[in-house]
Each structure stands twice: as structure tokens, then as C-alpha cells.
Amino acid sequence: MINVAWDHNSYYHERLLRALPARCGRVLDVGCGAGRFAARLAERADRVDALDRSPAMIAEARRIVPANVTCPLGDAATADLPAGAYDAVTSISALHHMDLPAVLPRLAAALRPGGLLIAVSHHRLEIPRGLPADAVSVFGYNARRAVLLCLPAGRRYRREMYQRHAAQPPMPVKDPQLSLRQVRAQAAAALPGSRVRWLVQWRYELTWRKPGR
């Protein structure tokens, strides 16, 4: 019997892609992990820079991405990011590994005027305020697992995802330190006009468009 697993990060690929222009010149993917989202961005962008500070993740990303994706090893807090170079900056499940007041201004500076920053990451559950939302996440997670176990297409998807994960090194994991309120406060201070939305699966979405053009 195959041990199945749900890929939470892949769940948000479509959401981020829908927010981006139909065609981009250059995109920065921060905390690219094994490179699966960067590979999808490559279908929409002329050039993608997929950045991660884990040597194991960068090695895996370089193995799967197409030729228009470069995978530099580096930390978003210290990497040499070209100013005003990117049409979009994306990130999935990485911002909670970082110091937002230090990193967000650097990502903003890397965007061209009118460019979009969109990221999904984790927040810490705030008790008791966050318990109703947490209950929704638990229900949604288990309902999705039930559907995927029952549908033939779902079973194939889960089998493929398990095989893919089994073949790659484990992704770095860190418990989130900030509550949703703290994320909103830090984002508002670093990126005036940014918006932070609560998402299921204990995540949030941060969006910000750089003023200009």
C-alpha cells in the first residue's frame, strides 16, 4: 500500500499564477525549494531567478528547471538582488523562515515600478482568536484527503506526488513565529499599502504592488 501525502505548497501554485500578468519579463522566486513552482513560472516569464539558501534544494531545482531558469544559492536577506529588475517576486512557504522587516524592503527594491510581490507563507495560531479559522483549516484538509482517496484521478495524483517527494531531499521546516496580526503589522510597516489575507491550511497571502508606472 502506497503511503500517500498531500502537497500543501502545490495547492497554491494556481492562485499565484492567476495573480500574475499573462506574460512577464523577469520573475524572482524566493525560497524556491525543489523548483517546481519556478518551473511553472518559466512558462509565463522570459527569465526566472529561483533563489534558495539550502544547497540541497538548489541542487534539486537545477535538476528539473528549464533553460530560462537560473537557481542561485543565497539568502534573500543578504543576496545581491538587482534593483528594479523584476516584474514580479513570488514566494511559497518561505517568508516564515525570514525576518520580514529586513527582507521585505529588499524584495520591494528588486521590483520594477508597477511590479507585484505575492507570497504565501505560514502564520502562528493565535489562541483563542484563531481557533475558528483553525477549525476551518482542519476540516478542509481532511475533506480534501477524503476526496483524493476516493477518486481515481485523485489517487493517481497522490501516488505521483508521493513518488516525487520520495525521490527528493526533504525541504527545510520551521514553525512560524508570527501571528497573522503580527505579519500584517510588519508588512504594513515595511510595505505601505500591502494586503495580508488569511488562507486555509494555516497560511496567509501577502500582496503588494510597487507604486509607479
Integer angstrom CA distances of residue 101 from 48, 105, 149, 188, 209: 25, 7, 41, 10, 17
Instruction: Give pLDDT tens digits for 179-190.
Output: 999 999 999 999
| pLDDT attached to residue 1 | 29
Triad 173, 174, 180: Cα angle to 5°? 130
Query: Position of cell 536577506?
Result: 77
Q: If 0-12 CB within 10 Å is exposed, 13-18 middle and 19+ buried, where does residue 164 land? A: middle
| pLDDT attached to residue 3 | 34
Asked if omega into 66 is within 30° of 0 (cis), the reply is no
Instruction: Give pLDDT tens digits for 86-97.
Output: 999 999 999 998
Among 16-20, 83-87, 148-152, the range scoring the smallest mean pLDDT is 148-152
Q: List b or e across 109-120, with b for residues whose CB sees 16 or more CB atoms inside 10 angstroms.
A: ebbbeebbbbbb
| CA dihedral (35, 167, 165, 93) positive or negative | negative
Instruction: Give pLDDT tens digits for 18-49.
Output: 999 999 999 999 999 999 999 999 999 999 99
Quick check: 110 pLDDT over 80? yes
Instruction: Give pLDDT tens digits for 119-134.
Output: 999 999 866 555 555 6
